[in-house]
């Protein structure tokens, strides 16, 4: 069904990334050998190590390819739907779950990415897209004084973590359909709570002193 538009006919580097993406999505980073990826692209290991520094570098390139698709899906889908600023955090959230429904996004970005790229690499990868989209939505809540503006970066990161676990919970469920609505409901409970402006007062040290 996919139009397989090969204009121009794809450079070898792109073909390596494409096959790496497919194989990594199927059997994970450790489950696929470099020779196998090269063979799938009709090449050998020499081509891989000329184009990429090491196996991790190839994995990173595959991650960025997946992430580009995720960004496209989320942005185009949320385009025109946000009647009000405040809706986009719940609408965009559903689109995020849709995007993370793809096997390659799950395996590369959510499962293997953290271990392979390390904590810093993982955060650097997710910041522009996943975290960034949430931060953008939260900034509108901060404009309306529903939350404090200076908690937006960290809060976006936390919410992104919630989305990650939500996607994994759906993936691990024996009934992904039912788990999908369950997780989306729980996510709305979370975002709805933010939208109510309950985070605004925040009398410092009302609960416990911060160390």
Partner DNA sequence: ATGAGGATCATACCATGAGTATGACGTCAA
Partner DNA sequence: TTGACGTCATACTCATGGTATGATCCTCAT
Residue 83 binding a copy of itself, by CB under 8 A: no
Radius of gyration of the chain (CA): 20
45 binds, among a copy of itself, DNA, none (CB under 5 to 8 A by kind): DNA
Query: What span, in angstroms and rounded, lies between the C-alpha atoms of 14 and 11?
Result: 5
Residue 13 interacting partner from a copy of itself, DNA, none (CB closer than 5 to 8 Å by kind): DNA
Give the side-chain half-sphere CA count within 13 A for 186: 14
User: Kind and range of the H or E element at 57?
Assistant: helix 55-78
Selected range binding DNA among 45-53, 83-91, 168-176, 194-202, rule: CB under 7 A: 45-53
Among positive and negative, which fits the CA dihedral 75, 62, 99, 95? negative
Residues 84-113 interacting with a copy of itself (rule: CB under 8 A): 87, 90-91, 94, 111-112
Query: Cα angle at 199 between 194 and 201, to 5 degrees?
Result: 150
Q: For DNA, which stretch binds (CB under 7 A), given 32-40, 83-91, 104-112, 165-173?
A: 32-40
Answer yes or no whether residue 14 interacts with DNA by CB under 7 A: no
Cβ-based nearer residue to a copy of itself, 39 or 202: 202
Q: What is the largest CA-CA distance in the chain?
A: 63
Cα–Cα dist 83/133, whole Å: 17
61 binds, among DNA, a copy of itself, none (CB under 5 to 8 A by kind): none
Q: How far apart are CA 95 and CA 99, in angstroms?
A: 6
Q: Which does 189 bind (CB under 5 to 8 A by kind): DNA, a copy of itself, none?
A: a copy of itself
> Is 40 near DNA (CB under 7 A)?
no
Interface with DNA (CB under 7 A): 12-13, 32-35, 38, 42-47, 49-51, 54-56
């Amino acid at each position: 069904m996919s139009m397989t538009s090969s204009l121009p006919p794809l450079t070898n580097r792109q073909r390596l990334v494409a096959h790496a993406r497919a194989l990594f999505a199927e059997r994970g980073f450790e489950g696929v050998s470099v020779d196998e990826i090269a063979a799938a692209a009709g090449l050998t290991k020499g081509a891989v190590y000329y184009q990429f520094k090491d196996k991790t570098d190839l994995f990173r390139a595959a991650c960025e390819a997946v992430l580009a698709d995720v960004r496209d899906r989320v942005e185009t889908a949320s385009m025109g739907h946000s009647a009000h600023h405040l809706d986009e955090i719940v609408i965009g959230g559903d689109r995020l779950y849709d995007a993370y429904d793809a096997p390659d996004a799950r395996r590369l970005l959510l499962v293997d990415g953290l271990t392979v790229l390390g904590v810093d690499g993982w955060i650097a990868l997710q910041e522009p897209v996943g975290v960034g989209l949430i931060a953008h939505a939260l900034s509108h809540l901060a404009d309306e004084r529903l939350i404090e503006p200076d908690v937006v970066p960290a809060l976006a990161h936390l919410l992104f973590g919630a989305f990650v676990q939500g996607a994994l919970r759906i993936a691990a469920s024996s009934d992904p359909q039912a788990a999908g609505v369950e997780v989306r409901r729980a996510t709305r409970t979370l975002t709805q709570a933010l939208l109510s402006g309950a985070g605004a007062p925040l009398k410092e040290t009302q609960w416990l002193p911060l160390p």
